[in-house]
Amino acid sequence: MKYVLLIFMLFFSACSLKDYEITQTKIIIIKSPKIKFSDLGYLRNSSEKIELELFIAGKTVEKITINHLICTSEGCMSKSGFNEDYLSKSYPDELLQNILLSRPIYEGINLQKTADGFEQHVQNQHVDILYKVESHVTFFKDRKNNIIFKIKDTQIRKDIEQ
């Protein structure tokens, strides 16, 4: 009987395990033609995938999962298809993933290091982007396409020198 109970517990606990290495609670603001959101979210990632889970009043309203495809509540699509439907078709495929992970965009063009991170200004006939990454905030604004992402830590911790 003990073995049946043990097998039962192992089977159901294994199904509930997630393979994300990092889970962070963030304040997330997204403004695009198809998404308007401002509230808390969970940003989870591993070396193979990223998940952004958006909440309003404690209830999940959207989950975006990125690996080789981008999946939303409306289904899965290619990264370029997601950009065309939700953001701008002129964006590179890896843009959303790089913003969520606070990595340089557009292969690092016009990257300027700052005291607390970096900034990029990307301008061409299709975009006018200001992108800033600091230790506790990631900010992306494309003036031509009216798209904003702001991802902020919920708790800012300061090191106390002794």
Give pLDDT, residue 66. 93
| Distances from the Cα of 122 to the Cα of 10, 139, 159, angstroms | 51, 14, 34
Length of the chain: 162
Average pLDDT (78-90) is 94
In DSSP notation, the chain reads -HHHHHHHHHHHHHHH----SEEEEEEEEEE-SS-EEEEEEEEEE-SS-EEEEEEETTEEEEEEEESSSEEETTEEE-HHHHHHHHS-TTS-TTHHHHHHTT--SGGGTTEEEETTEEEEEEESSS-EEEEEE-SSEEEEEETTTTEEEEEEESS---PPP-
18 band by pLDDT with thresholds 50, 70 and 90: low
Where do the domains of the chain lie?
18-153
Give pLDDT, residue 1. 53
Comparing 151 with 23, the larger pLDDT belongs to 151
| pLDDT, tens only, 39-62 | 889 999 888 899 999 888 878 888
Amino acid occupying residue 88: S
| pLDDT, tens only, 129-146 | 999 999 999 999 999 999
90 band by pLDDT with thresholds 50, 70 and 90: very high
Express as a percent the part of the chain with pLDDT over 70: 83
pLDDT at 12 over 60: no
Bridge partners (DSSP) of residue 40 are 27
Q: Give the angle subtended at the CA of 28 by the CAs of 22 and 32, to the nearest 5°.
A: 125
